[in-house]
Amino acid sequence: MGIEIKDKVALVTGGAQGIGLGIAKAFLDAEAKVAISDRNEETLRRTTDDLQGHFGDKVCGIVADVSVEEEVKKMVMETLRKFNAIDILVNNAGLGGMNYFWETPVQDWDTVININLRGAFLCAKEVTKFMLEKGTQGRIINIASVNSTLPTTGIAAYCASKGGLLMFTRAAALELGPRGINVNAIGPGSTITPLTEGFYNLPGLKEAFLDRTPKGRFGEPEDIAKVALFLASEYADWVTGQIIYVDGGQSLLGLPRYYEGLQQAAGTEQPY
The set of catalytic residues is 158
Sheet holding 88-91, edge to edge: 59-63, 33-38, 9-13, 88-91, 139-143, 182-188, 243-246
Beta-strand ranges (E) seen in the chain are 9-13, 33-38, 59-63, 88-91, 139-143, 182-188, 243-246
Report yes or no: 124 and 93 within 8 Å, Cβ to Cβ.
no
Report yes or no: 91 and 78 within 8 Å, Cβ to Cβ.
no
> Which residue type occupies 103?
E
Taking the C-alpha atoms of residue 183 and residue 26, their distance in angstroms, rounded to an integer, is 19
